Every structure is written in structure tokens, then in C-alpha cells.
Structure 1
């Protein structure tokens, strides 16, 4: 694998580790949907997981091995209102997120520059993974905002 790709995956792993560090909350805290928000920390983490694979599938037109029923709980347009007793807990989501970057690297690491039919203006896995990292950053900020709101509620 090219050195540039090693640096790329190191950055993806760093972002994911930071996301998991920020999301180090209790199961109860992960369920809170503060006023003005549509989702909670648990949903945001599941959504990051699902969307990364969804974008890869969308570009490559190849099925990615992940639980497809996760889309029912964490896909675009869903919310914690869609959760059921089977929805993965925070503690079940964390290892999936932790392993995801290594799984993507192992499966697609040598294909980052392969050109596909464009989707949303992107035609390589490298472009899609850059996009999903940006997307992950947006959800990281949402998690930080949720934590800030409920920390203020606890203090008052």
C-alpha cells in the first residue's frame, strides 16, 4: 500500500478514535435527546457506522458485509423513535465503530484510486472516504453539542 494511503488511514483511525473518546458516556446519557435535537448520541454513532458503508456500497455497487437491518434504526431519515428492543446498545456499537476503519482498510485499501461510475460527484473510494470523514465530523460536533446541553442541565 502506498505511503500516502497509510497516512490516509491513520487519519481516518485518528478521527474515529476521537469520536469514540467524545462518545464515552453512559448508556443512559447516550439515550438523551435534548430539546432542539432530533437524535441522541447512540443514534449518531450508529448513523456514522451505517453511512460509511452505505456510501461505499453506493459507489462500488458491491455489497458490504454489515447488518443491513441497521438501516432501519440508523439510516438517513431515521431517529431514536425507530429503535426497538433489538437496536444495538451504545456498548454494542462501540466495537463495531472501532473495527470499521481496519475492515475498510483491509477490504479496500488497495482500491482507493480505482475509478467507478460517479456518485454525487465522487468516483473513487478515497473521495467517498474523505466525504464520510467530513460527515463523521458533523456528527462528532452534534455529539459534543448534545453533551454540552445535558451538562448544562445537570449543573442547573
Structure 2
């Protein structure tokens, strides 16, 4: 595997580890709080990170995601915790999926990173490009989680 691909998977694992460390002290109750000035809670942000990564790969490859399609209704763009149901994964379930996701992506796509697909509406046409974008996107949601945690602690 090319060095840049190794670096990409190292980054995927490193940033995911940072996200998991960030939420290790969050309780199920805290994960449900939507602080004033926010549209979503920690639980939603975590589910959205999982969905975003799989969804962009699916948009590109047209292959099934290893998560329920209901993730779109719970954690998709424009949703919020009011869309949650009894079937929506708990904080603990989301953390488990977050731990597993980088390994599954590497296992399934490590040899396909440069495979060409018709471009997405954002111009991405390889899995490598999708992963660069989703790692950046994960960082945005890490920032949101930091801000939510800060608000929760100040309440």
C-alpha cells in the first residue's frame, strides 16, 4: 500500500480515537442534552459522524452500508433528536459502532482507494477523496461536541 494511503488510515484511526476519548466520560443522560443555542446533542453528533462516512461511500460506490438505513432518519442532514425513536442506537451502541467503523472501512476499501467512480455532487470520485472529506467533517462535529460538553458543565 502506498505511504499516503497508510497515512490516510492512520489519520482515520487517530482522529476517531480522539473523538472516542472526548466522549468517554459522557453519560447517557448528558448525551441527550441539547443545550440552549444548539440544534443537536452529543448522541446525534456521534450518529451523524457514523452515517456521514458510510453515506458518502455509499453515494460513491452504490454499495449497501453496514448500518440500518434508519440512520438517515435519525442522524441525517437536517434531522435532530426529535427524530429519535425507541430503535435509535444508544450512546453505548454508537460508541461501539464508532470503534468498529475505521477497521471495517480499511478492511473493505484498503485496496480500492483509487478506484474511479462517477463523481458525487461534491466532485469526489474516489474513496480516498471521500475519506479525506469525512475526516474533516468528523473534526467539525468534534468541535460541536466540545462546545456542547462545555455548555453542559456550565449549567
Query: For the superposition of Structure 1 and Structure 2, which TM-score range results when normalised by the shorter chain?
Result: over 0.9
Deviation at 1:2, TM superposition (A): 2.6
The match for 2:153 is: 151
The match for 2:143 is: 141
Deviation at 1:40, TM superposition (A): 0.1
The match for 2:28 is: 27
**Aligned CA-pair RMSD:** 1.0
Distance in 1, matches of 2:116 and 2:87, equals: 38
The match for 1:11 is: 11
Ranges in structure 2 where 5+ consecutive residues have no aligned partner: none
Distance in 2, matches of 1:21 and 1:65, equals: 24
Distance in 2, matches of 1:140 and 1:132, equals: 12
The match for 2:106 is: 105
Count of residues in Structure 1 that have an aligned counterpart in Structure 2: 153
More strand per residue: 1
Distance in 2, matches of 1:94 and 1:82, equals: 20
Deviation at 1:114, TM superposition (A): 1.0
TM-score, normalization by structure 2: 0.95
Q: Which 4+ stretches in 1 moved above 2 angstroms? A: 1-4
Question: 1:65-84 to 2 correspondence within 5 Å?
Answer: 65-84=66-85
Distance in 1, matches of 2:92 and 2:135, equals: 22
The match for 1:121 is: 123
Distance in 1, matches of 2:32 and 2:118, equals: 39
TM-score, normalization by structure 1: 0.94
Deviation at 1:152, TM superposition (A): 1.5
Distance in 1, matches of 2:151 and 2:81, equals: 18
